[in-house]
Amino acid sequence: MTNTLYLCCSAAPPVFDVARVIENAQSRGWDVCLGLTPTAAHWLAGSLDGLAALTGHPVRWQYKFPGEPDVWPAADALLCAPATFNSVNAWALGLTDRFVAGVAAEALGKGTPTVAMPCTNAALARHPQFEQSLATLRAAGVEVLHGDTGHTPGEPGTDDPGHFPWDLALDAVGRAAAGAGRS
C-alpha cells in the first residue's frame, strides 16, 4: 500500500528544491501531495504544472470553494518544510487563513504524524514568539527539527539560508508514520 504524505512548504529558499525532494519521497514509497503558501506558490509559479504532473495531484495553495470535492487523498503523514518564521507562528497560534496553515492545524487534531523543519535566520529565531511556537507545536505532538536536529539558522543579511537537511526531514516523517502504524 502506498501512503500519502502531505508536503507543506512555505516561502524560504529551500522550497526551490521541492521537485528533487518529491522524487526522493516517492522513492521512499510516498504518494506526495504538495501544499504551498501563497508566497511559495508565487515563487514557484513557473513550475506548478510540472509539480502537479510529478505528484499526480493538484498543487494546492488555496482553500477549495464550498461544495467542491476534496482533491487529495487523506494524509498518513505531514511534513511542513521549509517552515518560515511566519508559518511556524501562524500554525502554533491557530491562524488558518492560509490553506496550508489550515491543513497543518487540522493534522494536530486528527493525530496525523507530523514533522516540521523550520527555516529562519538567527535574528528571527531569537524573537520571543518563535520558541513559544516551537514549544506549542512540540506539545501538540509535532516533531520539530530545529538547530542541532534540523536546520541551523544563519545570521540575517543573505538570501542563502545555508544547508537545509531535507533527508533528515524525510527520515523523520518516515519514522513518525511507521511509529503510528501508517507505513
Ligand X SMILES: Cc1cc2nc3c(=O)[nH]c(=O)nc-3n(C[C@H](O)[C@H](O)[C@H](O)COP(=O)(O)O)c2cc1C
Question: Which residues are at the interface with ligand X (CB under 6 A)?
Answer: 10-13, 37, 39-40, 84-87, 98, 119-120, 124, 159, 161
Cell of 51: 509539480
Q: How far is the CB of 126 from ligand X (least distance, A)?
A: 13
Q: How far is the CB of 24 from ligand X (least distance, A)?
A: 21
For ligand X, the closer CB: 148 or 160: 160
For ligand X, the closer CB: 85 or 166: 85
Q: How far is the CB of 125 from ligand X (least distance, A)?
A: 9
Q: How far is the CB of 37 from ligand X (least distance, A)?
A: 3
What does the buried/exposed string (b/e) look like for 64-82 if buried means 16 or more CB atoms within 10 Å of the residue's CB? eeeeeeeebeebbbbbbbb
Short-list 112, 107, 110, 81, CA closest to 181 = 112
DSSP 23-34: HHHHHTTEEEEE
CA-atom Rg of the chain in angstroms: 15
For ligand X, the closer CB: 12 or 170: 12
For ligand X, the closer CB: 58 or 161: 161
Beta carbons of 116 and 92 less than 8 angstroms apart: no
